[in-house]
Amino acid sequence: MNLTLKVWRQKNSQTPGKFVTYKAEEISPDMSFLEMLDVVNEKLVKTQEDPIQFDHDCREGICGMCSLMINGEPHGPKRATTTCQLHMRSFNDGETIVIEPWRAAAFPVVKDLAVDRGAFDRIQQAGGYVSVGTGGVPDANEILIPKTIADEAFNSATCIGCGACVAACKNASAMLFVSAKVSQYAMLPQGQTERYERAKAMVSQMDDEGFGSCTNTYACEAQCPKEIKVTNIARMNREYFNAEFIKG
């Protein structure tokens, strides 16, 4: 396959960026999107040019490190797929592909396509944890949890924190991420101790980071590579209003 790439190049968060066009030639349709970028970068290195910076780690679709807005869609055109699991067979030979970083005030560009998602870490640190006893090792399954609840909590916990929800949202809102993190603990017995403080602290941190508000367009759900549901957002709202008006 031969492709034309329009890639966002930006030296750092202080310098304005611009699109630069590259040719990606002799690409195998079985390569992942990141491997295609690796090929382009190898060529750039050979010609003494600055390679394109992009985030990646496990390349197995579970770490949440890869990102990229590909032709206006977070993680590209394929549903429920991270960029690292997106293969070039999803594109046509000769196609022009526009590659941009996540765009959000809360996610400043580090370099090129890599953005700083530290805001998510700070939201998580604000309340995304549970207190545990530090005595002896507890027996497995000591606390019984109904299967349906365990499944639901696990569904929320599959959020890998990649930020595609923020990227997809027209308001750059982080509500899907935050709500998944609030939900995964709110449903489980282990999460009850900090339940209401957690909702308040995480929402407050989310606001401080400068994310937009949710207007329920549900673009986040459609674009989430882990198919996190917007019912999590409704749950977070319940948790928050309960915390503020009733339990707080």
Smallest gap from Cβ 178 to other proteins, in A, equals 10
Smallest gap from Cβ 107 to other proteins, in A, equals 10
Paired residues of 107 in beta bridges: 104
Binds other proteins by CB under 8 A, chosen from 31, 39, 98, 145: 98
Residues in 67-86 at the binding interface with other proteins, rule: CB under 8 A: 69, 71-73, 77
- Please list, in sequence order, all residues whose beta carbon lies within 8 angstroms of the beta carbon of residue 44, skipping any fewer than 6 positions away: 22, 50, 51, 52
Q: Are 84 and 30 in contact (CB under 8 A)?
A: no
Number of residues in contact with other proteins under rule CB under 8 A: 50
Q: Among 116-124, 150-158, 187-195, 213-221, which window interacts with other proteins (CB under 8 A)?
A: 213-221
Count other Cβ atoms within 10 Å, centred on residue 235: 20
Q: Are 4 and 23 in contact (CB under 8 A)?
A: yes
Residues in 42-61 at the binding interface with other proteins, rule: CB under 8 A: none
For residues 75 and 27, what is the distance between their CA atoms, to the nearest angstrom?
19
Q: Are 124 and 33 in contact (CB under 8 A)?
A: no
Residues in 149-178 at the binding interface with other proteins, rule: CB under 8 A: 168, 170-173
The residues binding other proteins (CB under 8 A) are: 6, 8, 19, 69, 71-73, 77, 98, 100, 103-106, 168, 170-173, 203-204, 206-207, 210-219, 221-223, 230-231, 233-241, 244-245, 248
